[in-house]
Homo-oligomer: A and B are copies of this chain.
């Protein structure tokens, strides 16, 4: 579940949930250390060729995804809330350092302003992994869905789970 005091709206938001057979501290590590993030962030056959994370409120969260054709898609967002092992909130409506972001004009998903609230809840050694992605309006939610949100974030979640499995060994 997302933070109880953050309202969500099914018309505007997209959601991904998984139960992962691992303690949340390990998933947090895979989620917040660039060397790990580069291994699961982009849905294969895409790759993540760069990742930079300054893990504090206002810090940068930057990724560069490379398409199979070799085109690079940099994306810079701002981390806004971090509770270790529990919650990460980041948004593309702000640039790193909290500055309001410039217009979003890309025709890929980097062109859609969104805020993602990622939550890790541990129960009996397993982790409930949840991501709620908030859009400013229905058009944004629909566009993100058309661009393949569910397949994309789903594939990445599977890659994250696979990485965590290898890290446990």
Contact = CB atoms under 8 A, between A and B. Distances in A.
Given A58-B6, A80-B57, A94 B94 contact: yes
A163 interface: no
A46 interface: no
Interface in A82-127: 89, 91-95, 97-102, 113-115, 117
The SS class assigned to the A binding surface is loop
A7 interface: yes
A140 B59 CA distance: 23
A134 B102 contact: no
Interface string A1-44: 00101110000100000000000000000000000000000000
B89 A93 contact: no
A145 interface: no
A114 B89 CA distance: 19
A12 B92 CA distance: 19
Nearest to A3: B58
A55 to B, nearest CB: 12
